[in-house]
Structure 1
Amino acid sequence: MFNLKALQKNKTVRYGIPMMLLVVGGSFGLKEFTQIRYDAQRHRKRLDPELEAQVDVQRQTNMLEEQYEKIKQANLEDWKNIRGPRPWEDSREYQEQQRSRQNKKD
């Protein structure tokens, strides 16, 4: 028969085995909790497939048409590349300088 006192004094039995149980058991427990989270998200986002297809097609066509109209209305002939202020520069002062330069050129 095992000597119970010797087993209780053994550091591996006293600290190692509970630690291993905590680590291994914790990973299985966390897996279950995270799986519940992802299942709930999947369930919440689920739409009727026909409705989802209609929404996707409508989104794409609207986005393309809007972008086309914006590009069509943009005047690209008079476009100028203007540098923004550096972090150490005062933005209002820099804007005034840019405006005065632009007024002098016009």
Structure 2
Amino acid sequence: MFTLKALQKNKTIKYGVPMLLLVVGGSFGLREFTQIRYDSQRIRKKLDPSLEAKVNVERQPVILEEEYEKIKKLKMDEWKNIRGPRPWEDSRVYQEQQRSQLDEKP
């Protein structure tokens, strides 16, 4: 009887043990819930086999020299920086103005 009353008055047992149980038990519980989340995402991301075959065929290694040749063929000196329309401007009207200014300049 004496030990039971002493244990009830002890602050470590009264507050510390339940807190420790919540922290340790919560970490295990969260691990299970997050594992369910990642498993469901993995299942949802599975592709149709025919579509997956097409995606895998298109992934070919990029050769640096070939990419350099493609970029070298582009005419980099003939471009002009065109500002996009502001939110209060009508984008179609502004684009037409920019295009007409490009056409007028030699």
TM-score by length of 2: 0.54
Alignment identity in percent?
Answer: 62
| Per-residue deviation, residues 39-97 of structure 1 (Å, max 9, x unmatched) | 1111111235x424433146659xxxxxxxxx89xx7332245789xxxxxxxxxxxxx
CA distance in 1, matches of 2:3, 2:56: 75
Tell me the secondary structure at the aligned position of residue 3 of structure 1.
helix
Higher RCO, Cα 8 Å, sep 6+: 2
Moved over 3 A (4+): 57-61, 80-84
Equivalence for 2:66: none
TM-score, normalization: structure 1? 0.54
Q: Counterparts of 2:59 and 2:31 in 1: how far apart (Å)?
A: 37
In 1: Cα distance, 2:46 partner to 2:13 partner: 49
The residue that corresponds to 2:88 in the other structure is none
CA RMSD for the aligned pairs? Answer: 4.2
How many matched pairs?
A: 90
| Structure-1 residue corresponding to 2:53 | 54
The residue aligned with 1:39 is 39
Which residue of structure 2 lines up, in the alignment, with residue 18 of structure 1? 18
Distance 2:2 2:35 in 1: 42
